[in-house]
């Protein structure tokens, strides 16, 4: 009897502690997110321009990484064409919002509002992904990767030869961004917050922060919702997904379209970061860098994609800034040590190997709590009896009468 009473008290205590622990965790997570968001809002007041421009580059890379992770990590479709869709977004924005002119090469432009250029860049990138989706529906694995690689070479060729739109080999200047008359450039009207002048870097920081917050929110809810579960089923087994009623072709097309739209927005931010577009910026190396982001961050994890983008996009810039003060590093062209760009590539390779060996879920999985170890009750109420006690209940039941 004492053992029974003890087990009942333990079960009752666990049932009472479970909801309380769940409520505390559910309150802690929004609180931490709110604190982090407030800190990010205050960053432009306290940090220098280098870190603001680096942060804006991280925001652009994070948006592209989220989109690629939806395609590769969640849906299981290997794609090396991400650089092509970034180019579509960047070129569309530059042509739509740019003005006709040029010095060495005559270029055209529509001179429309930059916001419209950004929206059209996202939509045309999504349309390009939708047009490529029938090819993706017929291929998988390395064959899809090789087929998508062809888009990168096509994109580089078009940027080099379509001079009226892209400026050709020398590229063209990307127009400054403005939103309903509010300009995000150094030529804008003077603005100060807490005594700190808000120029181009400070304004672009808030633009990137808002866009990455929207992209993260949408990607997170897409992965955790019903479409995300369907995409994961397609990734695990297309046959099983079809048997369960999932339209595999339609979901693959949707994944490629959404991923391409993310890439298009990332391409627009890339054009704003460098203030111009050139063919070399959208080569195969860019696609490989985005693959490194999602592998290091964690395939299938939106949070991991952001963390991987922070690592891959920030490391080269930090090494380049502090290369003189770090051992074994030297500035590019000095020949006295390892150049920052080479050191960054070595670091990427080591990070990928370390992740695959010690954290297959990526660095995003290091913050996940243990799952599946204890079965928490669905809600408040008495705990269920253990499965081992079921035979004891059958023994205590009255025996059946034997028929004669």
For the record, the structure tokens of 114 come out as: 């930059």
**Which letter, b or e, does each residue of 101-129 get, where b requires 16 or more Cβ atoms within 10 Å of its Cβ?**
ebeeeebbbeeebbeebbbbbbbbbbebb
Q: If you average pLDDT over residues 12-38, what whole number do you get?
A: 67
pLDDT, position 86: 96
pLDDT grade, residue 159 (50/70/90)? very high
pLDDT, position 61: 95
Q: If you average pLDDT over residues 253-260, what whole number do you get?
A: 93
Which residue(s) pair with 338 in the sheet? Answer: 329
Within 10 angstroms of residue 260's Cβ, the number of other Cβ atoms is 33
For the record, the structure tokens of 170 come out as: 């020398």
CA distances from 199 to 19, 38, 150, 184, 207 (A): 48, 20, 40, 7, 13
pLDDT tops 70 at residue 3: no
**Which letter, b or e, does each residue of 24-34 get, where b requires 16 or more Cβ atoms within 10 Å of its Cβ?**
eeeeeeeeeee
pLDDT, position 334: 57
| 82-97 and 248-274 helices, crossing angle to 10° | 60
pLDDT, position 269: 94
The listed range with the strongest mean pLDDT (17-26, 247-256, 261-270) is 261-270
pLDDT, position 267: 95
Compare 332 and 130 and report the one with higher pLDDT.
130
pLDDT, position 383: 40
Q: If you average pLDDT over residues 373-399, what whole number do you get?
A: 40
CA distance 345 to 357: 19
pLDDT, position 333: 57
Q: Which fold has domain 28-364?
A: ABC transporter involved in vitamin B12 uptake, BtuC (1.10.3470)
CA distance 314 to 50: 11
Rg (CA), the chain: 27
pLDDT, position 362: 83
> What is the percent of the chain with per-residue pLDDT over 90, rounded to a whole number?
37
> What is the percent of the chain with per-residue pLDDT over 70, rounded to a whole number?
81
Convert the pLDDT of each residue in 180-227 to its tens digit. Answer: 888 887 777 777 777 777 888 888 999 999 999 999 999 999 999 998
Compare 329 and 234 and report the one with higher pLDDT.
234
User: How high does pLDDT run on average in the chain?
Assistant: 81
Lowest-confidence pick of 63-77, 79-93, 326-340: 326-340
Compare 311 and 195 and report the one with higher pLDDT.
311
pLDDT grade, residue 24 (50/70/90)? low
Sorted by where each begins, the domain ranges of the chain are 28-364
pLDDT, position 58: 94
Q: Is the pTM of this model over 0.95?
A: no
- Among 216, 314, 298, smallest CA distance to 265 is for 216
Question: Which run of H or E residues covers position 84?
Answer: helix 82-97
Give 355: exposed, middle or buried? Use CB within 10 Å, 0-12, 13-18, 19+.
buried
Convert the pLDDT of each residue in 286-302 to its tens digit. Answer: 999 999 999 999 888 89
pLDDT tops 90 at residue 26: no
* DSSP state at residue 127: H
Compare 141 and 97 and report the one with higher pLDDT.
97
For the record, the structure tokens of 279 come out as: 């063919």
3-state secondary structure of 173: strand
pLDDT, position 367: 64
Question: Is residue 65 within 8 Å of 306, Cβ to Cβ?
Answer: yes
């Amino acid at each position: 009897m004492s053992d029974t009473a003890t087990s009942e008290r333990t079960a009752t205590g666990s049932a009472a502690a479970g909801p309380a622990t769940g409520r505390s965790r559910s309150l802690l997570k929004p609180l931490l997110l709110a604190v982090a968001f407030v800190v990010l809002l205050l960053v432009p007041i306290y940090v220098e321009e280098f870190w603001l421009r680096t942060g804006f580059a991280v925001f652009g890379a994070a948006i592209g990484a989220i989109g690629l992770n939806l395609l590769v990590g969640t849906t299981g479709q290997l794609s090396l064409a991400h650089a092509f869709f970034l180019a579509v977004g960047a070129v569309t924005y530059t042509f739509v919002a740019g003005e006709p002119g040029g010095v060495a090469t005559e270029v055209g432009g529509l001179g429309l509002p930059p916001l419209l250029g950004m929206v059209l860049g996202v939509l045309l990138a999504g349309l390009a992904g939708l047009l490529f989706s029938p090819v993706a529906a017929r291929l998988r694995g390395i064959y899809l990767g090789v087929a998508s690689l062809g888009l990168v070479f096509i994109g580089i060729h078009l940027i080099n030869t379509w001079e009226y739109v892209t400026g050709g080999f020398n590229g063209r200047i990307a127009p400054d961004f403005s939103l309903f008359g509010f300009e995000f450039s150094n030529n804008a009207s003077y603005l100060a917050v807490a005594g700190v002048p808000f120029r181009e870097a400070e304004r672009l920081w808030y633009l990137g922060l808002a866009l990455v917050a929207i992209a993260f929110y949408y990607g997170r809810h897409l992965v955790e919702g019903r479409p995300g579960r369907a995409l994961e089923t397609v990734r695990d087994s297309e046959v099983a997904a079809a048997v369960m009623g999932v339209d595999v072709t339609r979901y693959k097309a949707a994944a490629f379209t959404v991923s391409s739209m993310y890439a298009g927005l990332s391409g627009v931010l890339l054009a704003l970061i460098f203030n111009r577009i050139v063919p070399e910026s959208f080569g195969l190396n860019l696609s490989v860098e985005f693959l490194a982001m999602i592998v290091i961050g964690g395939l299938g994890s939106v949070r991991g994609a952001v963390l991987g983008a922070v690592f891959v996009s920030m490391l080269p810039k930090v090494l380049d800034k502090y290369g003189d003060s770090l051992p074994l590093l030297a500035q590019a062209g000095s020949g006295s040590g390892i150049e920052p760009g080479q050191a960054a590539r070595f670091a990427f390779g080591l990070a990928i190997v370390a992740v695959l060996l010690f954290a297959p879920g990526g660095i995003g999985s290091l913050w996940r709590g243990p799952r599946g170890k204890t079965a928490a009750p669905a809600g408040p109420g008495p705990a269920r009896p253990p499965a081992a006690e079921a035979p004891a209940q059958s023994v205590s039941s009255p025996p059946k009468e034997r028929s004669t």
